[in-house]
Amino acid sequence: MKKILPTVCFSIAALLFFGCGKKEAPKAAQRPPAPVVLKPAVKKDSHRFISSLGSTSSFESVNIVPQVTGQIVDVKFKQGDFVKKGQILAEIDRRPYQAKVKAAEASLAQAKAQLKIDSLEVERNRDLAKNNYVSKQTFDSYKAKVDVDEALVKSAEADLALAEINLDWCSVKSPVDGKAGFFNVNAGNIATANSTLITTVENLSKLYVNFFIPADRQFEVQELMKKSGSLDVEVSYRGADGKYSARTAKARIVENRSRYESSTLVLRAELDNSDSMFWPNQQVKTVLNTVFVKDAVFVPNAGVSVDNVGSFVFVAKKLDGALYSISKVPVKTVQLFPDGNYMVEGVKDGGLIVVGGQLRIANGAFAYAAIPQGAPIGADGKPIVNPADVKKFIGEISQKAAQYAAKSAAKSSEASAQKQEKPAGSQANKQ
């Protein structure tokens, strides 16, 4: 039994070594190159911006209200007319006010006549008062009467001036250039001073544009305004044909308080509107240019993806002919622009960004360029549409990918072996 036991043990060990040895794991199949749509990253100077909604208002908006009461005898404008500053818009019955002017003129003449009489009385008694033929008290009363007469003359002159002003106000004039509105009263109606609205006049040649920005951007905007004095604002609206009409305004005014409920702040821009492209109280879209960025890099919005770490893009690097290797590159998205491109940080100018086919690729994958319809693009930059040529192209590109994959695997194995040798060698040296 003692002799058999070692033999049995050796046989079992040999069986385990040769018959039950560890089998080599099969290699994972290499994924064939995937078709992707590529667009280059573009570098250009640009502004960051704040996009918002706003409304326009007249630079000058006037309610035409008479300053005297009376019957409107004539309306001298047409609804919707452009009127000039000083143009008569309506006439109020002048007769009562003409009578008041004449009454004021008569009162003034009477006051002046009385002043003249009393002045002569003073002069006649001046020498008599010196020689004590007239008492000092009597002479002082003559002079005081002249002072009263002079005051009455001034009062009569003021009454006449007021009567003339009221008479002039019978002609209701436009105080500004602009476009007249609708009739609110017609001829024959009684207009009440400072109450009856005849019409409105809106100056359309220049408009205010009031728009909102987030309150947390207030100090950024104010600092930029201090440096340049104003900021450019693109103001636009969409017409019935679907096209946008746009013009640049200058933002110079910041509201003196923020809107707590909406956490916003109102800015006011001045817009030249000499051709009446815009209208008062019109809803508009605004884009306020803020920080200027030199050599900013832009990539298509379709190329930006998001995972649990953050935003990233797939960048294609040309290897051989039409074969590309794919790298996953994290980026910082600065802002999305209206043309569908993102301003980003982390990508170089000219880098080929994958904008189609992202679901077929991953970091380190192989790919070939294709048009959006799926046809591959050859090394000459032209789409391949012939089925036989497509099959040949796929075979060749897959073979190249397999070769690059094998080289990459060999390099990885060599590097791994070197890493394992270094610790072993270091341990031997220590011993």
Q: Which CATH number does the domain housing residue 393 bear? A: 2.40.420.20
Is 352 a domain residue?
A: yes
Domain boundary among 243, 262, 295: 295
pLDDT band (50, 70, 90) for residue 26 = very low
Whether the CB-CB separation of 152 and 109 falls below 8 Å is answered with no
Is 24 a domain residue?
A: no
* Residue 272, token pair as written in the block: 């030249």
As a whole number of angstroms, the distance between CA 235 and CA 209 comes to 8
Q: Are residues 397 and 322 in the same domain?
A: yes
Q: Are residues 274 and 401 in the same domain?
A: no
Percent of the chain with pLDDT over 70: 90
* Residue span of the structural domain in which 376 resides: 34-44+296-412
Q: Are residues 314 and 328 in the same domain?
A: yes
Which residues share a beta bridge with 254?
267
As a whole number of angstroms, the distance between CA 341 and CA 353 comes to 12
Is 150 a domain residue?
A: yes
Longest alpha-carbon distance in the chain? 180
pLDDT of residue 376: 93
Mean pLDDT, residues 75-99:
95
pTM above 0.85, yes or no: no
Q: Are residues 195 and 210 in the same domain?
A: no
Q: What tens digit of pLDDT does each residue of 207-241 get?
A: 999 999 999 888 889 999 998 889 999 999 998 88
* Residue 413, token pair as written in the block: 């194995």
Strands laid side by side in the 82-83 sheet: 61-64, 199-202, 178-180, 82-83
Q: What tens digit of pLDDT does each residue of 132-184 get?
A: 888 888 888 988 999 999 999 999 999 999 999 999 999 999 999 999 999 99
* Residue 303 DSSP symbol: G
Number of domains in the chain: 4
Q: What tens digit of pLDDT does each residue of 47-61 get?
A: 999 999 999 999 999
pLDDT of residue 112: 94
Is 27 a domain residue?
A: no
As a whole number of angstroms, the distance between CA 276 and CA 56 comes to 12
CA angle 259, 263, 265 (to 5 degrees): 55
Q: Are residues 259 and 336 in the same domain?
A: no
Is 15 a domain residue?
A: no
Q: Are residues 131 and 248 in the same domain?
A: no
Whether the CB-CB separation of 209 and 249 falls below 8 Å is answered with yes
Q: Are residues 314 and 397 in the same domain?
A: yes
Mean pLDDT of the chain: 87
Bridge-based pairing of strands 34-40 and 366-369 is: parallel
Q: What tens digit of pLDDT does each residue of 306-362 get?
A: 999 999 999 999 998 899 999 999 999 999 998 899 999 999 999 999 999 999 999
Is 80 a domain residue?
A: yes
**In Å, what is the CA distance from 40 to each residue of 33, 155, 349?**
20, 85, 8
Q: Which residue is listed with tokens 């909604």? A: 53
